[in-house]
Amino acid sequence: MSVYLLGTIYFLEIMLFIGMILCFIRLIKSTLIADKVVALDLISTIIVGVIALEAITTNQVVFLKIAAVIALLSFLGNIAFAKFIGTGGR
Amino acid sequence: MKDIFVIFFVCIGTTFMLLASIGLIRFPDVFSRMHASGKAATVGIASLFIAVAIHFSELSIISQIILIITFLFLTAPLGTHMMAKAAFKDPQKRPPVFYPKPATTILPTPAPAAVYTDEEIEPEIILNTEQSKSDSNVT
């Protein structure tokens, strides 16, 4: 693995964390529940991307399974929140 | 040589994810925010996993990555669609924000009404469509 790949990946991880900070700003600022749920979904998607980058830097395959599990859990949480909002918050 | 393709796909994926976050900040409405995060994030994460597949380049890992990409492409629009349906029926929701159309036709007397906006946006102008329709009927 070359140095350029490692440097690029570290730089791009910082970029992904900046994106996550933007999502947190939206999560704090908005007053609507659906808006917050969309922000949380994007945060979990960014976390899956960071784990994929970690799989490249550490040369370990186990991270892919972790990424699959986190994607599944975020989807289930999204569906549960959608049901919760659709029934009027009850 | 392999690293060049990995760097290329990783850069594309991260750019799309960052664009999804910026769209989440910048867009005025719940539905347009869903439009930003539901599509751009899906493409970005698919590109990231393609980079991982190129980096490892073994058959077992590639099949696993195909499984993950298929799962994400199935579930991300599904979750976004369910959230959009729920937000549309939400009693707490605000009506969507419309931008004024580009002024190609001569507008009737502009009746700018204060519009439903989010808290951080400047008030936008909604064209009074019924008034313009009645005016066009008269003329």
Q: Is the CB of A47 inside 8 Å of chain B's CB atoms?
A: no
Separation in Å, CA A84 to CA A44, B74, B96, B133: 19, 22, 21, 40
- Range from A5-14, A54-63, B12-21, B90-99 carrying the lowest mean pLDDT: B90-99
Backbone dihedral region for residue A88 (phi beyond 0: left; psi -120 to 50: alpha; all else: beta): left
Complex confidence, ipTM: 0.90
Supply the pLDDT for residue B135: 53
Q: For residue B85, which residues of chain A lie inside 8 Å, CB to CB?
A: 82, 86
Q: What is the pLDDT of residues B8-38, one digit of tens each?
A: 999 999 999 999 999 999 888 888 888 888 8
Picking from A16, A22, A72, the nearest residue to B25 by CB comes out as: A22
Q: Is the CB of A32 inside 8 Å of chain B's CB atoms?
A: yes
- Quick one: closest CA in B to A12, which residue? B14
Q: What is the pLDDT of residues B84-100, one digit of tens each?
A: 888 877 665 555 566 66
Contact B18 A88 (CB under 8 A): no
Q: Is the CB of A70 inside 8 Å of chain B's CB atoms?
A: no
Picking from A12, A19, A88, the nearest residue to B10 by CB comes out as: A12
Of the CA atoms within 13 Å of residue B139, those in its CB half-sphere come to 8
Residue with tokens 């909002």: A85
Contact A16 B75 (CB under 8 A): no
DSSP A31-76: --HHHHHHHHHHHHHHHHHHHHHHHHHHT-SHHHHHHHHHHHHHHH
Q: Is the CB of B69 inside 8 Å of chain A's CB atoms?
A: no
Picking from B52, B80, B90, the nearest residue to A52 by CB comes out as: B52
Q: For residue A1, which residues of chain B lie inside 8 Å, CB to CB?
A: 3
- Whether A13 has a pLDDT exceeding 60, the answer reads yes
- For chain B, give the number of residues: 139
- As a whole number of angstroms, the distance between CA B4 and CA A25 comes to 34
- As a whole number of angstroms, the distance between CA A11 and CA B36 comes to 23
Domain assignments of chain A as residue spans, ordered by start: 31-90
Picking from B20, B30, B65, the nearest residue to A64 by CB comes out as: B65
Give percent of chain B above pLDDT 70.
64
In contact, B123 and B117? CB cutoff 8 Å: yes
- As a whole number of angstroms, the distance between CA A41 and CA B118 comes to 20
Q: Is the CB of A85 inside 8 Å of chain B's CB atoms?
A: yes
- Quick one: closest CA in B to A67, which residue? B68
